[in-house]
Structures are given as structure tokens and as C-alpha cells.
Amino acid sequence: MRTIAIFDILMLYGWNLGHVLSGAYGFTLSEYSVPFCKIFSFLNYFTSQVSAWLRVFICLDRYLSLRYLHKTWFSQSKSVLIIIACIISVFTIINIHILLFTCHYNIDGSIDRQARLYEIYPIWDYMHLTLYNCVPFIFMFIFIGGVIYHVTRIRRNSTIQNSRIQHRSISITSVITTVLFLIMTMPTTLCLAFFFRTISYFILLIFDSILYP
């Protein structure tokens, strides 16, 4: 959970800092220089994807703990660190091309966020929708379904009131987290991927406020 909090803070403050600079000074850090453009473009995708898949891992851990009713391999601190490192490494590799190929100076001195060798946007926005929203939500939905099933079965068979309360709390927290993840991320990512050039600025601002309050 601490790791998720760190990535959420990076995602939240990085995005909101861009809004503050844009409103107060008329520019964003991604427009300040090519290195800033590369770093902030990378972080916008990388941090959100890592955060989403860490949530998937949490749902998986809760499902396994309820299914087997004892500490699993995932419950060990060393194993958790390995999984977190693997998730971070995978999405670093997936998004590394942003650091390598995107952002360059135009003839007039302005910064172009596209890559010289290929068209990265909006193609990467479609990939981001898949990696950040669609696939994580499918996995979370499956694991939460398993959590609810096992909680129901445990409540039928268990006579220990504390056990019922604990498992019910886990189930409710997992369901709320999954539903909020869908509501707060899917609309904004869909708009940015498919309707960025056609939807009004006011609607984009509303979705932006939902995703980055």
C-alpha cells in the first residue's frame, strides 16, 4: 500500500503541477525543454500503469489468502518486494521508448511531443487505455468475484464472529476499490484516447478533475 501511495502521489502532483504552471505562467514543464518533456511524458504513463497493476496484485493477494486461509508466498515481505520490483521493471521496459524517442525541437524552437521515427500519439493512448484500465479492471473483477465467493462460503461455514467481520471488511474494501478505480479512471482515459480533439475543453476539465482531484 505504501508503494501505491508513492506512485499515486507522483502521478497526482506531477499532473497538477503542470496545471498550476500552465495557469500561472502559461507553460508546462513538458514544454520547458526536451528532457523535461521526455521525463514527464514517461511518468504520466509509467506511474499510472504501475499503480493500477499494484492494485491487481493486492486483489490477487486477498483472493489467495481467502481461498487457502493461510499465509501464501505473496504474504512474505521478500516476495512482495520481488513482485513490486518486477511490476516496476516491466512497465519501465514497456514505456522506455518514450524516454528514447519522443520529444524534439521543431524548426521554430517549439517542442513536439511526437517521435521523429514513428507516430506515437494517439496510438500509445490506446495502449495506455488497455494497460491502465481495461486489462487491470478485468483481473480485479475476476479476483473480487473470487473474494466474494469465498467470503460467502466462509460465512456459511464459520462460527467465529471475528472471522466473519474480518473477511466481510476485506470484501467490502476490495469491491469499493475496484468500483472507484473504474469510475475515476475509465472515462478520462477513454476521452484522452478517442475524443481528445473533438470533445469540449470543459468536459475534459471535468474528467481531469475526477482523475486528479
b/e 141-177 (16+ beta carbons within 10 angstroms → b):
eebbebbbebbeebeeeeeeeeeeeebeebbeebbeb
Task: Say if residues 179 and 156 touch (Cβ distance below 8 Å).
Answer: no
Per-residue confidence band for 17, with pLDDT thresholds at 50, 70 and 90: low
Domain boundaries, the chain: 2-211
C-alpha cell at 146: 473470487
Please identify which residue in the block is written with the cell numbers 500561472.
24
Q: What is the pLDDT of residues 147-176, one digit of tens each?
A: 888 777 777 666 544 554 455 566 677 677
Spatial separation of the C-alpha atoms in residues 55 and 132, rounded to whole Å: 11
Q: Does domain 2-211 have CATH number 1.10.12.10?
A: no
Q: Is the pLDDT of residue 184 over 80?
A: no
Crossing angle of helices 34-68 and 161-194, in 10° steps, is: 150
Question: Do the bridges between strand 111-115 and strand 102-105 make them parallel or antiparallel, or are there none, so unpaired?
Answer: antiparallel
Burial pattern 92-122, b for ≥16 Cβ within 10 A else e, equals eeebeebbeebbeeeeeeebebebeeeebee
Q: 103: part of which helix (H) or strand (E)?
A: strand 102-105
* Residue 188: per-residue pLDDT: 67
198 HSE (CA, 13 A, CB side): 5
Element (H, E) at 131: none
Between residues 147 and 8, the one the model is more confident about: 147
On whether the CB atoms of residues 123 and 98 are closer than 8 A, the answer is no
Length of the chain counted residue by residue: 213
| pLDDT, tens digit (0-9, with 9 covering 90-100), for 59-85 | 888 888 777 766 666 667 788 889 999
Q: Which residues contact 23 (CB under 8 A, 6 or more apart)?
A: none
